[in-house]
Each structure stands twice: as structure tokens, then as C-alpha cells.
Chain A
Amino acid sequence: MSRFLRHLLLLLVALPAASQVDRVQDIKYPPLASFNIPQPQRIELENGLVLLLLEDHELPLVEATVLVRAGSGYDPADKIGLADLAGRVLRTGGTEKMSGDQLDDWLEGRAAAIEVGVTEDAARVTMNSLKKDFPDALRILADVLRRPAFDAKKLEVERNRAVSNVSRQNDELLEILFREFQEIVYGPDSPYGWTETYATLGAVTREDALDWHRRLFHPDRTVVGLVGDFSSSEAERWVREALGDWPRGPQTKLAAPAWRERLTPGIYYAEKGDVPQSGIIMGHLGVRRDHPDYYALEVMNQVLGTSTFSRLFSNVRTKKGLAYAVGGQVGTAWDHPGMAMIFTSTKVETTGASIDALLEEARNLTAVPPTEHEIDTAKRGLLDSFIFRVDAPRKVLGQQIQAEFHGYPRDWLSRYRAGIESVTPAQVRDAAARHLRPGEFAILVVGPTQGQDKPLATFGTVTPIDITLPQPPGSKNGR
């Protein structure tokens, strides 16, 4: 059929339309087609490895996500950056069968990738490939997990990168702001507040990397998720072949990373002179995601600062024109408390005015509790946008694997809607009072001193923070 005919036909088939509405309230929405959240298949191997499988045959692609309990939370205080360095060399250093360079060639020649990223709670190894390369890529992925070579030369490439990044730690305003704030909130003794230094990176040896892998990479500390164009039974067989004989690890308990429960409230200031703006962040410790107030906080956060209709966005940005970037929330994390924080960046001349504006919104959340309309908007928005968290198998798997890894209920994702629906205005009010406490805020400002509209001392005793980088050992005037 020619396109013209097809077009004509479409127009003829079309039903006579009702007239257009004049107000958004007059739009009548037809019922939404039903949609079932795709459920991954869960298999626990004899060695304790948990495998999640979800088929998706739309495109000839496969993705793997492997989470291993080998996060930077286990870094020793004198070797901060160990997990990050070791994680990178796990991949770039090659395996017993393939050198790092051969691995690079093999993957990139097939438009495939294996990458490692380390957070406090996990080493995350991801793989993606075309369908036709999947069985081979999976075998290589298993080798990376089980038999990494930690090539000494590649360790030096990665160390060079990490050390150079230390030298760049003070180049970006917002990087300084978030880094220093994490330390203030979690404390200088907590891995959640740590940043690599020349000294801690210099202390990491190849033996440390090998030891990191020996201690932490075991099947019973690992969850593997596969999503894409495969048959589950076949994929299961391949995983069993590659990882089924991986022996369990020792049953030793490792100390979980700690953090401090209470920070010292007040105002903190780090000077950065060569920028037009001040970065401002304020807050304290948040809560873990399995806190009973989680759903109430999700709603509250929409009202406070995670949506475009939020109070922070509409008051600080739209009405007062103080900032482009502004936001805030009581943050939650899977296995430790997130951060409750409000942040913005504004021209130096409105630093004080912006601190006032952020504090006002924080106080108003309890002084002028969220209205019924605000709560209704937040709840409807969260409920009606939930479909976008589950409309593709890869999105579902990405969330399910986190819940599995952190020991959350298996129906964690499908509980979400009911959780949001049940939230009452009173719960939001109470959650706000409990979890956002302006009186206990640490307020951190990073930016120029000259040009500030009011002295920072107006907001309390100022604790200066020295962000000067120490010179690396053995260097004179930066080489």
C-alpha cells in the first residue's frame, strides 16, 4: 500500500472527534491498558550465588549486572581508594587466559563491554554484548570475577589516573561541596565520608589488590542479574558452567562500615576564590530505605525538593530567581542512612539570602505543613509515573537486583504503589518533623569570600575547612 493511501485510510477510519477542552481539568482519561511487571526468575546455586534472569527479546542485546560485597566500605583507613583501584584493575589487568590488552581488543571489536564500578556497598561489574557474543562474553566475565591477573603495569596506569584525579579534587566547586559535606555528615572516621589522598593511593600494592579479591570475591557474596535476548534455561546452564564450581568463601564476619550518628551543627566554610558562585548545602544524617517512614518521605521529598512543583524549586528558583540548581530531600540508602540535605549554588552576592531562603523552606516544612493539594499532587505523580520504573525489563532487573543484594523483600518493587497510596497527610507531617531538623543542620558554604552579602557568622560560629591539597610524597612544587 502506498504511503498516501495508508495515510488517507487512517484519516477515514478516524472517529469524529469531540471538541477540544479548554481547561486541563476537563480532560477525561480513558482507562490505562493493564500492564504486568515482568518478574525475573530467581535461582540460588549450590555455592550460594544468586542468579536473576529476565528475558527481553525486543532487541538482540544482553546485559549482565554482578554485585559483589566488596565495596569501598572495607577499605583500610591508610589505603583509601583500594577497592576503587583494585576494581578497575580487576577488569583492565586481564585474566589468567587473556591479557588486559587482549580483553580490550576482544570486547571492543564486538561492541561489547565489561566495566567495574565501586561504591561503598558493592563492587559492581557490568557486561553488555550482542546476543551472538553472549556465551563467550559470559565466560570472560566469569574469568574476570574468578581469575583476575591484576597486571602490575595496569595497576600503575590506574594509579596514575587516581593520583591525577586527587590533584584535580579542588577544580570543580560542586565536587568540593558534596565531598566535604559527606565528611561532615558521616564523620572523618567513616568510609562514607572518605576521599582518596596521594598517600593512601601510594600505599596500595598489587598484593593488596590480590588480597582484596581473595577475601571478598566469593559466590555467596555475589548476585548476578541477566536481562536480554536469551532463553532462561540456556542462560542458567551457561552460568552454572562458568560459575557453578566457584567455591564458597570462608564464613568469617567482616565488620560493616561505621558512621557517626550526630554531627556538630553550625556553619562550615571552605574558600574557593576563582568562581562567581557559592555552593551551599545543609542538612544531617538521613535514614535507611527500610525505615517505616520511607513512603511518607518519598511523598514529602516531592513537596520539598525532588520535583518541579516542589517548594524549593518554585520558591528559591522560580519566585526569587536565586538559583538555577536547587533541590533537597531526606535521602535514603539501601544499607546505611542516606543524607538529609538541601542544596543550591548562587552568585556570591546572594549567598546569605540563599542560606536564608533554604532555611526558610526547611523550617516551613513543619511550620506550614504540606497542604492536601501538595500531598495529593505528590502521591498522584508518584503513582502515575511508577509505570516508568517498570516499563522495560532492564529497569525492573536493575531495581530487583538491588533489593536482592541488600536482603529486601522480593516484592519490594511491586509494594511501592501500595506503600505510596497508604500515605496520609499526618504521616507526612510527622516524617518531616522527625527527619528534617533545621536546628541540627550543618551548613556548608564553598566559594569566594569577597562579595558575600552578609557575614557567614550571622548564621552561627564558622568552622573553617582547609581544602588545600597536601603535596604528594617525594614531589617538589608539584614536579
Chain B
Amino acid sequence: MSRQAVARAALALFALALPALSQDLKSFEERTTVHKLANGWTFILVERPAAPVFSFCTVADVGSAQEVPGITGLAHMFEHMAFKGGPKIGTKNWDAEKKALDAVEKAYTAYQAERLSPKSDPKKVETLLAELRARQQEASSFIDDTGGFDNILAREGATGINATTGTDDTRYFYSLASNKLELFAFLESERFLHPVFREFYQERDVVQEERRMGENSPFGRLLDQFQITAFEAHPYKQPVVGYMSDLQSFTASDAQKFFDTYYAPSNLITVIVGDIKPAAVIPVLEKYFGRIPARPGPQPLRTVEPPQDAEKVVVVEAAAQPIYLEGYHKPANTHPDQAIYDAIDDIFSRGRTSRLYRTLVRDKKLAIQVGSFSGYPGAKYPNLWAIFAMPAFGVTNEQVQEVIRAEIARLQNEDVTDEELAKFKTRTKADLLRAIRDNQALANQFAEHQLLYGDWRELFRYLDRIDKVTKADIRRVAGETFRKNNRTVAMSNTRTAAAKESTR
């Protein structure tokens, strides 16, 4: 498919008539191939031959929402471990290393049992720790750094190597020159065929530091408190990075169990975008990824967040300037009302023409920044619509709150203007255009939509839903959502000198 075809698609996107939108979708359908392996792994191939490169995104249908206390943070920990190589990648002698790793796990189990025992003996703990360190050192001696996963990718010129874990899913991605498709297939199939939990406990220390980095930030600490307060039962309350005590306790065996449950091939989707030919790619995918045996996928999540029936407020004190945050429960992003929440977001807080920028920042000068987001902390399950503001110097959170509440009331009592609604629709269409202009971004978008809606086409169909949003819809949703008993307020206030004394 040529660059002209992409241009045609894009032009269609900007025509006003709805039939043109479906034409645009059609043009993407022409160069998109969906191929599902017998083991259940779904591949989506998008031809875009502008330059001899490709990007991919593999998304696993598992995030921190699948965790329970004791193993919080494990989805993210597994993501880290997915860069450690396998029996064929990064080892000097796999058979010997395997034995050494088993010995590490045994030593860790003994150490942990003693450490967490109510009648723990510090001396014994120390001896068992020394034993663990010795076993770790032995296992490390088998690691082949020069042949490790990261090393291979760096050497082969891979770009944008990374992975992310959220509440809903875990994503792995990078870009390579298009003659290196087989390298991708080899590395990525090995990764999920038989992961090896090399240096698990060292990496667990790294993840603890990652958590501490978040704790350095007053906004990070406030967000933690916000979701812990807003959710009563649903795992969306848990921090993606995990609770510190869990990060100090979960084991490589836990990670293996997690992998076995959630990384069944049927739980994985990979989107490849770039200078690729499906006829040449599919046999390579069959050959490498087809090696992974099918196994049953995980059970659906059971816990449902009960309706909120009281306003919740949490106040954090920090040696920092104030931050204001409030949120309201709303349905999952797959709900037909999602486009309406996005409209509210746009009208409320996007850009210098938004209502809150103009009142809070420009006219009253009470805040220096305001933003809202819909789908916090995740999108797959019922979640929060949230708004935050950074009060200006000398302004309190309460002053900012008052203005936000007045704007919310206005949204409930008066129609938005034609210009506001039109601007939302124009910007959303342009967003899509800008979001798909590079291969990696397009791969991520397709993967996200295939996972959430079961169909990548929803990325384009969303524009139909945008076009249907009316002023009455906005008033209805604002009325249903922005109720006192559906609200959680989280504020970070500046700790005063007196308060600081009393906490020490």
C-alpha cells in the first residue's frame, strides 16, 4: 500500500460526511491483515512501506487489576523480568544455570519463611541471607551479558525499547529495520515461550527504587491516596507498582505462576506496523510463535466496585505547594457514554479556550494549571473521571475547589455552546490523525483497541460516536455523574512548621 493510500484515508477523515469516515476505515482495512495462530495469539499486520522499518506492540491482557494483596506489583515485576532473556538468550550454560536458579529459589524460600515468621530469629535470618547471597552469586556466574536480551537489541539498532504496565494491560514494544523481522520473531517468541527469572531478587530491588522515585513526588503520593480512597473493593485501588511489603516478599515462583495464568497465547495480541508483507511475515510468525502451546486463558475478574454512597475526602500534608484533585465514578470506557465524558474533558480543561483555563487561570488567576482525565486509573473496568489543579502561589485548595464546583454546576444546568461542541469534534478527529502518523503510535493504538473492544476498527468507529454527541447528552451525563455522593476529593496541603513539629 502506498503513501498515497494513507493520504486518501486521512483526507476522508476530514470530510464532514459520515460515509467518508467509513471509507477511511475501508482504506485501513485494505492494508490490515488479522492472523490468529492456532494457539490463540492474535497478530495484526499493517502495511506502511514509507521507510524500511517496522514497529510492533505486544499487549498482554493482564495488569495490576489482576493482582490481590500479597502479590501487588507482580504484573509490573513480570514486565521487568521479560527483559532477562531465556534458555537460549543470555546464558553461558543453561542446564547449570537452571540448577543454580532453583537453588536461589530454595534459599530465598527458607530465608523468607524465617524473616516473616512471628518468632523470627535475627541470627537465623542473617545466616539464611548469607546463604541466599552465595546462591545468587553462583547463579549470576552463568549470565552471558554480551548475549543478553538488551545487548542484542542495542547491537541490532532497535529503537524505543521499552514496556509499560498499567492497571489493565502490559505492553512491550520497539522498532527495528525491516530486514530484522526474524530477530523480532525469535526474541519475542522466546520471551513468552519460556521466560527465565534471572536476577529476580536484584530486579525486585530495582522495582523498589522505582516505587521510591514515585514517592519522591508530591503529586505521585497524592494520586496513590486518591485511588486508595476512591475505590472500596475493586483492585483499581492498588498502586500499579505495588505495596512496598509485597515488593519485598513476592517470589520468582509467584512470578512463574502469574506467567502461567496470564500469559497464555490467547491472552496476547501483537500489532506490527511498517514495511512488511503479510505473505512473507505470516510464515515466520507461524514458525516462531506457533511453538508456544495453547493453554486455557485466565478467569475474568470477579470483584465489582459497589456504588459509592458517601462523599470521601483525603488530605495529605507535604512540604510542597498545594495540589487539588477530585474524581467521580463512571462506567468503563467501553460504555456508549465514553464519547460524552471525552467531550466534557475537552470543554472543561483542554487548552486556553477551555472553561477552567479561562476562569481559574486567566481571569481569577487562582491556578497555574488545570487538567482533567477520563479513565483513571484504567479504562477496562468502571473507573473515575478526575480533574486536578495546581493552585497559584498563595491560593488554597478550597478556593480552587469552589470555582471547579461552580463550573460543574454550570455544565449541569446550562447547555454547552455550539462552538464548544464543534471544537471538541474537530480536535478529536485531528488527534486521531496525529496519533497514527508514526508506526509505533499506530501499533499501540491498534493494540489498545483490539484488546479493549476486540476490534481495532473501533479506533475509527469512535469518530461516529463523537459525531453523535449532543448538548443534551452532556447535561444528562453531568447530572448523573457529578453528584456529591459519587465524589472523592484528594488534596495535598502545604505542611506548616507547627504540623511538622508534631509529626516528629
Interface residues of A (CB under 8 A from B): 3, 6-7, 10-11, 13-17, 19-24, 27, 29-35, 57-61, 92, 104-105, 108-111, 130, 132, 156-157, 160-161, 163-168, 170-174, 229, 273-277, 302, 307-309, 313-314, 317-325, 345-347, 373, 376-378, 380-388, 391-392, 472, 475, 478-479
CB-CB under 8 A from A275, the residues of chain B are 215-216
Whether B157 contacts A157 by the Cβ 8 Å rule is no
| With known contacts A109-B426, A130-B430, A164-B368, A58–B50 Cβ distance under 8 A | yes
CB-CB under 8 A from A105, the residues of chain B are 353, 419
Whether B419 contacts A60 by the Cβ 8 Å rule is no
Q: How far apart are A284's CB and chain B's nearest CB, in angstroms? A: 26
CB-CB under 8 A from A377, the residues of chain B are 146, 151, 154-155
The 6 closest A-B pairs by CB, nearest first: A384-B157, A321-B205, A479-B394, A111-B430, A385-B157, A391-B51
CB-CB under 8 A from B438, the residues of chain A are 392
| With known contacts A57-B7, A392-B438, A13–B279 Cβ distance under 8 A | yes
For A348, give the chain B residue with the smallest CB separation: B212
For A479, give the chain B residue with the smallest CB separation: B394
Determine if B362 is an interface residue (Cβ-Cβ < 8 Å): yes
| With known contacts A108-B353, A381-B154, A388-B53, A320–B202 Cβ distance under 8 A | yes
From B176-184, B328-336, B408-416, B473-481, the one touching the partner chain is B176-184
For A447, give the chain B residue with the smallest CB separation: B216
CB-CB under 8 A from B269, the residues of chain A are none
Whether A32 contacts B216 by the Cβ 8 Å rule is no
Whether B368 contacts A61 by the Cβ 8 Å rule is no
- Contact size class for B? 35 or more
CB-CB under 8 A from A15, the residues of chain B are 280, 283
From B118-126, B259-267, B318-326, the one touching the partner chain is B318-326
Whether A109 contacts B352 by the Cβ 8 Å rule is no
Whether B52 contacts A33 by the Cβ 8 Å rule is yes
Q: Cα distance A324–B178 when bound, in Å?
A: 31
Interface residues of B (CB under 8 A from A): 3-4, 6-7, 10-11, 14, 33-35, 50-53, 83, 88-89, 140, 145-148, 150-161, 175, 177-180, 182-183, 185-187, 199, 201-210, 212-213, 215-218, 275, 278-280, 282-284, 286-288, 291, 318-321, 351-353, 361-362, 365, 368-369, 390-394, 419, 422-423, 426-427, 429-431, 433-434, 437-438
Q: How far apart are A457's CB and chain B's nearest CB, in angstroms? A: 25
CB-CB under 8 A from A163, the residues of chain B are 393
Whether B178 contacts A33 by the Cβ 8 Å rule is yes
Q: How far apart are A475's CB and chain B's nearest CB, in angstroms? A: 7
Select which of A59, A381, A478 is within 8 A of B7 by beta carbon.
A59
Q: How far apart are A430's CB and chain B's nearest CB, in angstroms? A: 23
Whether A277 contacts B212 by the Cβ 8 Å rule is yes
Q: Cα distance A160–B357 when bound, in Å?
A: 14
For B49, give the chain A residue with the smallest CB separation: A33
| With known contacts A108-B423, A164-B393, A309-B154, A321–B202 Cβ distance under 8 A | yes
Q: How far apart are A358's CB and chain B's nearest CB, in angstroms? A: 14
> How many A-B contacts at CB < 8 Å in the complex?
256
Whether A58 contacts B53 by the Cβ 8 Å rule is no
Whether B319 contacts A273 by the Cβ 8 Å rule is yes
Whether A57 contacts B88 by the Cβ 8 Å rule is no
CB-CB under 8 A from B284, the residues of chain A are 17
CB-CB under 8 A from B177, the residues of chain A are 32, 384, 387
| With known contacts A10-B278, A109-B419, A168-B321, A156–B365 Cβ distance under 8 A | yes
CB-CB under 8 A from A324, the residues of chain B are 206-207, 209-210, 213
Whether A109 contacts B423 by the Cβ 8 Å rule is yes
CB-CB under 8 A from B35, the residues of chain A are 7
Q: Cα distance A383–B390 when bound, in Å?
A: 44
Q: Cα distance A391–B140 when bound, in Å?
A: 39
For A277, give the chain B residue with the smallest CB separation: B212
Whether B216 contacts A174 by the Cβ 8 Å rule is yes
Q: How far apart are A449's CB and chain B's nearest CB, in angstroms? A: 14
Q: Cα distance A388–B151 when bound, in Å?
A: 18
Whether B287 contacts A17 by the Cβ 8 Å rule is yes
Q: How far apart are B443's CB and chain A's nearest CB, in angstroms? A: 14
